[in-house]
Structure 1
């Protein structure tokens, strides 16, 4: 199986959030021409009845397949029910996946938490991009209209090489969405300008430097994807706050995970974790 045929993996557990994630994954797989793998992880616990777990998993997966057939006929998803810890199973599957899609919270999550531990762990450690679907933004609107109401893809970038993977995923995603613009957002402050070796005391010069950095970052990608309309948005302010605000009117917000923190046990940068936790729509976390 080539990299272009690697499946979209959708994690389901019977929760409303995982149902939303399954719907999103089915549409994305169909739009990208990729296979869909639906996964329900049977929990490792001594108190569980293995036979009952298998029956429940089979029923849940059968329901998920029927749901996908109603959304994307002809997709023909496959299913898997490994016995493992949820995040461990999804991270393992991510090695041979194009994308992993999860709900922001599962059945075991506390309602007061905006992001469940399994979603956070998967986004922190997966080997491929992970999309976390936040529920509640459009509860009263039919799902079919979401792409029409919020067509844009937002990509949060830093002015360095860490943004290459983010831009690649963002351009690919925008290219398969008819009418979608790609809004490339870069939040900057005078402090970040200083850290990157830019102007320190001249705000206008710092703004010009941020705009030039965005132009340099996007030049090659715009040539590769000429069909994608690009809007560059250098914003003076907190990067995470800027991305959370942008996520309210985005079909998908794409952010980089930054691998550097993994050696310290930190899979997500502060900007990525804040954005992922507080976003108002779907967020893709890209290893970079």
Structure 2
């Protein structure tokens, strides 16, 4: 099976957050022409028999398949119910997935937490892009407004490889007819100094940031002529810029730095802040 044929994996645990993520995953799989695998990880629990867990898993997965049928009736789906720790199971499965889709919090999450520990850990360690779907507002009109958003927002940095991040963002825009791709590069005088650019001349630093952004995206306009691309070098905090942009985005795409995965420290401060506070779905791409 080639990378282009690997399934979209959606994790469910019976929470409303996971069902929202499941619906998002089903729609995205249809747009990309990929199959969908629905996964429910059975936790290691000595107080519940494996037979009881198996029955509960079968019921939940059957309900999930039914929900997918309502959203995407022609979509090919399969199910898995591994017995393991959630993060460990999903990280292992990520090696054979085009992407993992998770809810921002599960059944065990505290209402005060913006993102659950399993979602954060999986986004930090998975081998494929991870999409964390933040729960939409309870207001139905506001939820419908969010579904109407078409912008794909991607954050790129000058001091790390952005190739994989940009590739994912362009492919995401390609799978959504009419989508506009906003490529955001947040810069400050301090970041300009760290990258060897102008230190005291703000106009020169702004020009350098614009050139950096143009260099990072060179060649992709020719490869994806159908996509409306907007380049946005923005003076200010990168994480603040991305969180603000996420408010009107169908998807916000960020990169995960190399290194630290074995210790669970695979997210940079910008990525973790964006993932935690962004509105709507966020894709974390290994880079």
TM-score normalised by L of structure 1:
0.96
Separation of aligned partners in 2, 1:126 and 1:261? 12
**SS of 1:141's equivalent?**
helix
Q: In the alignment, which residue of structure 1 is the partner of 2:227?
A: 228
Give the unaligned 5+ runs of structure 1.
none
- Distance change >3 Å, CA 281–CA 242, structure 1 → 2: same
Question: How far is the alpha carbon of 1:271 from its aligned partner?
Answer: 0.3
Contact 2:136/2:143, CA 8 A, preserved across alignment: no
Question: How far is the alpha carbon of 1:195 from its aligned partner?
Answer: 0.3
- Distance change >3 Å, CA 139–CA 90, structure 1 → 2: farther
Question: How far is the alpha carbon of 1:262 from its aligned partner?
Answer: 3.3
The answer to whether 1:125 aligns with 2:125 is yes
Contact 1:20/1:133, CA 8 A, preserved across alignment: yes
Trace 1:182-193 onto structure 2 (pairs within 5 A).
182-193=181-192
The answer to whether 1:72 aligns with 2:80 is no
Separation of aligned partners in 2, 1:26 and 1:188? 36
Q: In the alignment, which residue of structure 2 is the partner of 1:283?
A: 282
Q: In the alignment, which residue of structure 1 is the partner of 2:35?
A: 35
Q: In the alignment, which residue of structure 2 is the partner of 1:219?
A: 218
**SS of 1:65's equivalent?**
helix
Q: In the alignment, which residue of structure 2 is the partner of 1:247?
A: 246
Separation of aligned partners in 1, 2:263 and 2:90? 21
Separation of aligned partners in 2, 1:138 and 1:172? 30
Contact 2:160/2:257, CA 8 A, preserved across alignment: no
Contact 1:137/1:280, CA 8 A, preserved across alignment: no
Question: How far is the alpha carbon of 1:260 from its aligned partner?
Answer: 3.0
**SS of 1:109's equivalent?**
coil
Q: In the alignment, which residue of structure 1 is the partner of 2:157?
A: 158
- Distance change >3 Å, CA 2–CA 263, structure 1 → 2: closer
**SS of 2:74's equivalent?**
coil
Question: How far is the alpha carbon of 1:112 from its aligned partner?
Answer: 0.4
Question: How far is the alpha carbon of 1:193 from its aligned partner?
Answer: 0.2
TM-score normalised by L of structure 2:
0.97
Give the unaligned 5+ runs of structure 2.
none
Separation of aligned partners in 2, 1:258 and 1:39? 27
Q: Deviations over 1:196-228 (max 9, x none)?
A: 010000000000000111111112111111111
Question: How far is the alpha carbon of 1:161 from its aligned partner?
Answer: 4.9
The answer to whether 1:57 aligns with 2:57 is yes
Question: How far is the alpha carbon of 1:49 from its aligned partner?
Answer: 1.7
**Backbone CA RMSD of aligned residues:** 1.4
Contact 1:261/1:269, CA 8 A, preserved across alignment: no
- Distance change >3 Å, CA 64–CA 265, structure 1 → 2: closer
Contact 1:69/1:76, CA 8 A, preserved across alignment: no
Q: What count of residue pairs does the alignment treat as equivalent?
A: 287
The answer to whether 1:46 aligns with 2:46 is yes
- Distance change >3 Å, CA 83–CA 265, structure 1 → 2: closer
Contact 1:137/1:281, CA 8 A, preserved across alignment: no
Separation of aligned partners in 2, 1:81 and 1:29? 20
